[in-house]
Structure 1
Amino acid sequence: MSDEIKHIAFFGHNAKDSAVRRRAIAMQRAGFEVTGFMPRRGEATPVPFDWVDLGETHDNDYVHRVKSIFTGAKTALAQRATLDRADLFYARNLDMLATALRVRRLMKSSVPVVYECLDIHHRLAGDALSAKAFRQFEKRLVEASDLIVVSSPRFEEEHFRRYYPGRYQHMLIENRLIEGDAFGPRPEHALPHIPGRLRIGWFGNLRCRRSLELLKDLARHFPHAVEIVLRGYPALSVIPDLEGEIKDFPNITYHGRYKAPEDLNQIYGEVDLVWAGDWYEAGFNSLWLLPNRVYEGGYFGVPAFAPEGTQTATWLHDHGIGLIVGDPVETQFIPLVQHLLNDPSPMLELRRSLATLPRDTFVEPPAVMHEMAQRALAAHRGTLHPHVQELTP
């Protein structure tokens, strides 16, 4: 085992995913050499790091993804010379963690393995027999890992601490923008606001039926005062015909997919507020996550809405930069928006508060990746003190 991390083998779930790309770039910006061992969704396209193609996988095709643990490991091992140079295996998502650990075992290697958890899948949550069975699988993988990276503290509190107490070390790395990426400078002045009108954006993975219905109700209630701007990719299993659903709403516009981070300056510059709620996995992951939107919007001076009781709402409240929608949201959202139309001063004050927050609130500095690597090494050697896991760079 190396005394220093120089080369990271990154086992990501999809080489074409923008979040995977951001993490690889963050490692590179911190000075690490990165080789991706990753499957892809769709045709192969260039990525900004060295990449070993583990083949094509498909969203929600879990049988194929289980098989790909074995086929992917076999493909990865064909690049043994590259793997032998790696000082750290970094795995994103549970199936890729299984692949990385299988590769390490077959290599008879002793490199540290880091598991990055961005979501707690609904199949792992709750008391159903199937969830308990999946957690037995997860438990073995967690115990074999050296460090768990979580993007929200609630993932550790509500899931890992509950089911695997004392069996892991963890580190919080939020879904911030990556320092040095091509998203442009923070706005020097507040965005222009048109009195009596509000532009509300919903960006990213459009996977929440309840959020769409909430925004449609808002558009129906305020046909001339509120404009809803949708950008990203709808989850077809939940919203199979987004454009068909909004065709009768002249104040709802869907602009399709966008490039992150290249397009972020433009898309956040076109809205007053951003919707950051999510009930895709209500009661579990949706309560616990921290979405990219709060960091992206915050960086560009755009406050966010979030439902009361979520980790997103807690984060916004702790930083003093968001609007919390009370429960039940369906009866509280319209009055809140009406109040902002009548008196936008709370929103304008939030914009001023956003501008005063440190850049690191929204942008991850390179030191975070160095801290991750050092903690992984310390955990692997058994020298990471239990209390260290509570610290956040």
Structure 2
Amino acid sequence: MKLAYFVHDLSDPAVARRLRMLKAGGADPVVLGFCRTDAAPERLEGCPTVNLGRTYDARLGHRAKLTALTALKARRFKALIAGAEVVMARQLEMLAIADAARLLCGLKARLVYEALDIHRMMVQDTVKGLAMRGIEKALLKRSDLLVVSSPAFVDAYFKPIQGLGDDVHTPVLLVENKVLELGAAPSAALPPPPPGPPWRIGWMGAIRCRRSLDILTDLAARRPDLVEVRIHGRPAYVEFEDFDAQVAATPKVTFGGAYTAADLPRLYGDVHFCWAIDFMEEGLNSSWLLPNRLYESGRFGGIPIALEGVQTGRYLAEHGFGVRLEAPEDLEAFLAGLTPGRFAALRAELAAQPQSAFSADESDCRRLVERLKKPGEPLGSYGQASESTSGKIAA
């Protein structure tokens, strides 16, 4: 199945992971997208790429202008995407381009919308917010499938705000951000550091929450006897006053830079806990998402720490593992009262989870691609029906 994949950032590791999944499921993707780095890859996971231009974090106006110009010129992609059965768009800006390309190039391909974050602008009753919601709703009605990474995106946003299941009848597929493990035997989780203070907390992935950095550096500075913090990933520097200086000023906090999937067992094996709390869009996207680090930590032995009352905390409660705090200020008291016995019990709860809760394999990839070919039934009893009818698969 030929698939045209329009992505918001060619340099995003999550894009590469989705491409591996699509290829393992039998799709033949061609990738078109913007890039947040100066040098865009010419190929990604063996797939040809088309660089649509340089974009920047937090510069929504620039991205909107570039999106509009690219959509107007989408006819130039005709030879490249000819014969595609599916046109798939990652995030709203790419959905506008993908739909224009499908129309201007005369494709009869199915349109798939991957909505993996809900920007705060989308829920604001401002001129921009209302306009963006109107555009998204119109495009959503034209889409054959909506892919989400968390059920809360449907329950808190698409249903009540965009009318999904009411006047919008696009089918929904839940594709969680699980660790993709193909081919060789899955890597084993490494043993944790010796139990006892200082307790090590790992913060991995997209590093974009200023309040999280403040909480962790403050505690590490005040209680070096109690906690160490290991940060790895890609910081969104525009979200911080001075990320590097703040880390450097706190001896018990280290930053290890970017990493690859092969590093996950080592990184999570080096810590006791995983910081799975986010305040970047508190009460909105941060409360609805199920982040990559939730699945990575579960797969490789880092006990996730989340807040009660948000989707990540509800996930931990439903599955019976992890640490749920009523407020981030409770972290110090929790760690101060933690015993080796209690830590062993937390590890045992995590070890009791099935591997399929955290990782996806080739059969999951095949099911995903088959669903893209046949989008399925409208929303209906999403989240309540069986796996075969709810569109819920592991990925």
- TM-score clears 0.5: yes
Q: Which residue in the other structure is 1:147 paired with?
A: 145
Pick closer, same or farther for the CA change 1:213–1:353 going to 2, 3 Å: same
- TM-fit CA distance, 1:184: 5.4
Could you tell me which amino acid in structure 1 is paired with residue 196 of structure 2? P
Q: Which residue in the other structure is 1:226 paired with?
A: 227
Tell me how far apart the structure 2 counterparts of residues 128 and 345 of structure 1 sit (CA, whole Å). 52
Q: Which string of whole-angstrom CA distances, capped at 9 and with x for unpartnered residues, describes residues 77-115 of structure 1?
A: 434233112110111010000000000111222210110
Pick closer, same or farther for the CA change 1:93–1:232 going to 2, 3 Å: same
Aligned residues: 380
What secondary structure sits across from 1:324 in the alignment? strand
What secondary structure sits across from 2:50 in the alignment? strand
Tell me how far apart the structure 2 counterparts of residues 111 and 260 of structure 1 sit (CA, whole Å). 33
Contact 2:6 2:32 in 1 (8 A): yes
Q: Which residue in the other structure is 2:320 paired with?
A: 320
Tell me how far apart the structure 2 counterparts of residues 7 and 157 of structure 1 sit (CA, whole Å). 32
Contact 2:86 2:109 in 1 (8 A): yes
Tell me how far apart the structure 1 counterparts of residues 389 and 143 of structure 2 sit (CA, whole Å). 14
- TM-fit CA distance, 1:353: 2.5
Q: Which residue in the other structure is 1:280 paired with?
A: 280
Could you tell me which amino acid in structure 1 is paired with residue 215 of structure 2? L
1:29 aligns with 2:28: no
- TM-fit CA distance, 1:383: 5.8
What secondary structure sits across from 1:134 in the alignment? helix
What secondary structure sits across from 1:26 in the alignment? helix
- TM-fit CA distance, 1:174: 0.5
Q: Which residue in the other structure is 1:306 paired with?
A: 306
Q: Which residue in the other structure is 1:107 paired with?
A: 105
Query: Bigger shift: 79-88 or 367-376?
Result: 367-376
- Once the two structures are aligned, what percentage of the paired residues are identical? 34
Q: Which string of whole-angstrom CA distances, capped at 9 and with x for unpartnered residues, describes residues 19-47 of structure 1?
A: 11110111011121111011212212342
Contact 1:190 1:351 in 2 (8 A): no
Tell me how far apart the structure 1 counterparts of residues 253 and 204 of structure 2 sit (CA, whole Å). 13
Q: Which string of whole-angstrom CA distances, capped at 9 and with x for unpartnered residues, describes residues 40-65 of structure 1?
A: 12212342222122222222222332
Q: Which residue in the other structure is 2:174 paired with?
A: 172
Pick closer, same or farther for the CA change 1:224–1:39 going to 2, 3 Å: same
Contact 2:31 2:49 in 1 (8 A): yes
Equivalent of residue 63 in structure 2, options 62, 65, 89: 65
Cα RMSD (Å) of the superposition? Answer: 2.2
Q: Which string of whole-angstrom CA distances, capped at 9 and with x for unpartnered residues, describes residues 168-212 of structure 1?
A: 21111011111218995122x642324332111111222112111
Q: Which residue in the other structure is 1:158 paired with?
A: 156
Tell me how far apart the structure 2 counterparts of residues 209 and 183 of structure 1 sit (CA, whole Å). 38
Contact 1:204 1:233 in 2 (8 A): yes
1:20 aligns with 2:21: no
Q: Which residue in the other structure is 1:251 paired with?
A: 252
- TM-fit CA distance, 1:76: 5.3
Pick closer, same or farther for the CA change 1:389–1:122 going to 2, 3 Å: farther
Contact 1:170 1:389 in 2 (8 A): no
Pick closer, same or farther for the CA change 1:389–1:123 going to 2, 3 Å: farther
Map residues 333-348 of structure 1 onto 2, 5 A cutoff: 333-340=331-338, 343-348=339-344
Map residues 133-144 of structure 1 onto 2, 5 A cutoff: 133-144=131-142
Q: Which string of whole-angstrom CA distances, capped at 9 and with x for unpartnered residues, describes residues 198-248 of structure 1?
A: 111111222112111211232133212311111122222221312212333
Pick closer, same or farther for the CA change 1:154–1:183 going to 2, 3 Å: farther
Could you tell me which amino acid in structure 1 is paired with residue 120 of structure 2? H
Could you tell me which amino acid in structure 2 is paired with residue 272 of structure 1? H
Query: Bigger shift: 344-353 or 155-164?
Result: 344-353
Contact 2:91 2:114 in 1 (8 A): yes
1:268 aligns with 2:263: no
Q: Which residue in the other structure is 1:45 paired with?
A: 41
Q: Which residue in the other structure is 1:186 paired with?
A: 188
What secondary structure sits across from 1:11 in the alignment? strand
Tell me how far apart the structure 1 counterparts of residues 83 and 209 of structure 2 sit (CA, whole Å). 42
**Structure 2, unaligned runs of 5 or more:** 382-387
Q: Which residue in the other structure is 1:361 paired with?
A: 357
Contact 2:74 2:105 in 1 (8 A): no
Contact 1:147 1:375 in 2 (8 A): no
Contact 2:72 2:100 in 1 (8 A): no
Contact 2:9 2:15 in 1 (8 A): yes
What secondary structure sits across from 2:254 in the alignment? strand
What secondary structure sits across from 1:119 in the alignment? coil
